[in-house]
Amino acid sequence: MSSLEEEATLPRGMESAPKPANKRRLVLARGGSLTRFSGLGGAHDALLNHHRQGRFEHLELLDVLEYPEQISAFSKVRYRWSKHPKRVRAYCQQRLGPNDILHITDQEQAHLAPPRSPNRPNVVITVHDLFHLFPFEQRVSLNDGEKSMGEDVVKVGEHRPGRVRRRDLVNLKQGLSRADLLVCDSAFTRDVCQREFPNIATVIVPLGLNSKAYAPSNELDKNETFTMLFVGSSDPRKRLPFIVKLLGTCEKELLGRSTLHVVGDQRQTAEALAKSIGMNVVVHPRLEDQQLMQLRQQADVLLFPSAAEGYGYPPIESMASGCAVLCSDLPAHNELMPMGTCLPAGDIGAWRLALAGHFQTWNTSTAKIPDRHLIDHARQFSSEVFVQNMTAAYDTLQ
């Protein structure tokens, strides 16, 4: 059992709570409905499916409180700040008791937590990250062996929010302070929660995935070109420009025999990359589930230089697919990787050497063989483990 799994059953200050004897009622809540293709929407959808399938045997899913996507800015603010919080508060007063649970599925809806009262249900809030509430700068010193190459200064979160958003962030912080339990995706996020909300119980429950669905059944045909994969939005913390710097230092043979697939809204940067170093780059602004799954399984290596993640789906999904991963040693995605495999975030020489090793493996192989050690490692973040850890977290609530 990993250290994350062990810690997931031990929320601070609630280590010895007994399991409930009878089923309790539970309601999931969020704001406007999100597509399951988004990070927060996907995590909500997965949790909802676990509840609907009865995997939490001591709990009865009573309802899901959300509202349709709003078009106008006025209606968005009205639903977010007034209409929906009133609905959640009224629902809790009328349908739930102090032994029941209201689970708000992401920190961006923390304002939905009702005021404390003797008859209020237990309030659980899943915290994926706190970048926007507590923004920071991630400084990465770039070097190529002994040679300094300057510094990347990556701004993480909203450093200059507008007036409406500033009020929104105040509401979210107040909502988090009204929770009974903060469920954090990573140790890094839990540490921030403990620092900013020291009086609220916290627990680490890494997100899970259906790892069996990711693993290819057998070896695949060797790729015609060495196939690299980058998955990430245009957010600066994803650091696609670092990949541009890295590949610009690689041997011409590697560049000439490689294809980089960029999944996300990074067309401009990716096209500039292709032009500047003369390699084949394919941009996929959006892929369906099955298309992305095939790309994960076929890729020879995932490049993940991110400066900050709340969790980090791409590395764990690629490992579950048997694909090698080059990952920066920064939180919280570094918590997902096998011990000693992360790379210094700014050491271009180390990245180039690791990439050349994977290129050589491809060059001398006759087939694409999934890495079974990575597939086995990814199983500790399976849906089954997530349900066990989330059950333990729910059971601590009195």
> What pLDDT, on a 0 to 100 scale, did the predictor assign at position 228?
97
Structure tokens at 58: 């001591």
Whether residue 32 has pLDDT greater than 50: yes
pLDDT in tens, 308-365: 999 989 999 999 999 999 999 999 999 999 999 999 999 999 999 999 999 999 999 9
Give yes or no: residues 333 and 251 share one domain: yes
Q: How far apart are CA 229 and CA 240, in angstroms?
A: 11
Three-state SS string across 362-375, please?
A: HHHCCEECCCHHHH
Could you tell me the pLDDT band of residue 37, with boundaries at 50, 70 and 90?
Answer: low
Structure tokens at 262: 């960029």
Give yes or no: residues 230 and 102 share one domain: no
> What pLDDT, on a 0 to 100 scale, did the predictor assign at position 21?
54
Look at 68-72, 96-100, 200-204 and tell me which has the smallest mean pLDDT.
68-72
CB 26 within 8 A of CB 181: no
Q: How far apart are CA 206 and CA 185, in angstroms?
A: 4
CB 140 within 8 A of CB 115: no
Cβ neighbours around 315 below 10 Å, total: 27
Q: Which residue would you say has higher pLDDT here, 257 or 233? A: 257
Query: What are the E-state strand segments in 120-194?
Result: 122-127, 136-144, 147-156, 181-184
Whether residue 16 has pLDDT greater than 50: no
Give yes or no: residues 181 and 221 share one domain: no
Give yes or no: residues 369 and 388 share one domain: no
Q: Which residues contact 374 (CB under 8 A, 6 or more apart)?
A: 319, 320, 322, 323, 324, 325, 338
Amino acid at 128: H
> What pLDDT, on a 0 to 100 scale, did the predictor assign at position 4?
41
> What pLDDT, on a 0 to 100 scale, did the predictor assign at position 6?
36
Structure tokens at 53: 């399938």
In a domain, 197, yes or no: yes
Question: What percent of the chain shows pLDDT beyond 70?
Answer: 93
In a domain, 148, yes or no: no
pLDDT in tens, 129-144: 999 999 999 999 999 9
Sheet holding 122-127: strands in order across?
Answer: 59-67, 24-32, 101-104, 122-127, 181-184, 201-204
Could you tell me the pLDDT band of residue 288, with boundaries at 50, 70 and 90?
Answer: confident
Phi and psi, residue 178, nearest 5°: -95, 0
Question: What percent of the chain shows pLDDT beyond 90?
Answer: 72
Q: Which residue would you say has higher pLDDT here, 270 or 366? A: 366
* Containing structural domain, residue 117: 3-140+156-208+382-395
Q: How far apart are CA 69 and CA 297, in angstroms?
A: 34
Look at 59-63, 132-136, 286-290 and tell me which has the smallest mean pLDDT.
286-290
In a domain, 356, yes or no: yes
In a domain, 150, yes or no: no
Say how many domains are in the chain: 2
The β-bridge partners of 103 are 28, 124
Give yes or no: residues 247 and 368 share one domain: yes
Work out the average pLDDT over 58-80: 89
In a domain, 147, yes or no: no
pLDDT in tens, 141-195: 999 977 888 899 999 999 999 999 999 999 999 999 999 999 999 999 999 999 9
Give yes or no: residues 242 and 362 share one domain: yes
Amino acid at 65: L
> What pLDDT, on a 0 to 100 scale, did the predictor assign at position 68?
83
CB 297 within 8 A of CB 220: yes
Give yes or no: residues 295 and 228 share one domain: yes
322 torsion bin: left (phi>0), alpha (psi -120 to 50), beta (else):
left
Work out the average pLDDT over 74-83: 89
Give yes or no: residues 197 and 231 share one domain: no
Residue whose token pair is 């170093």: 277
Give yes or no: residues 219 and 286 share one domain: yes
Q: How far apart are CA 227 and CA 229, in angstroms?
A: 7
Which CATH number covers residue 360? 3.40.50.2000
H-run or E-run covering 104: strand 101-104
Give yes or no: residues 203 and 349 share one domain: no
Give yes or no: residues 358 and 236 share one domain: yes
H-run or E-run covering 67: strand 59-67
In a domain, 74, yes or no: yes
Structure tokens at 61: 């899913």
In a domain, 151, yes or no: no
Could you tell me the pLDDT band of residue 389, with boundaries at 50, 70 and 90?
Answer: very high
In a domain, 92, yes or no: yes
Work out the average pLDDT over 259-268: 86
Among residues 293, 288, 156, the alpha carbon closest in space to that of 229 is found at 293
Give yes or no: residues 344 and 219 share one domain: yes
Among residues 127, 144, 141, the alpha carbon closest in space to that of 393 is found at 127
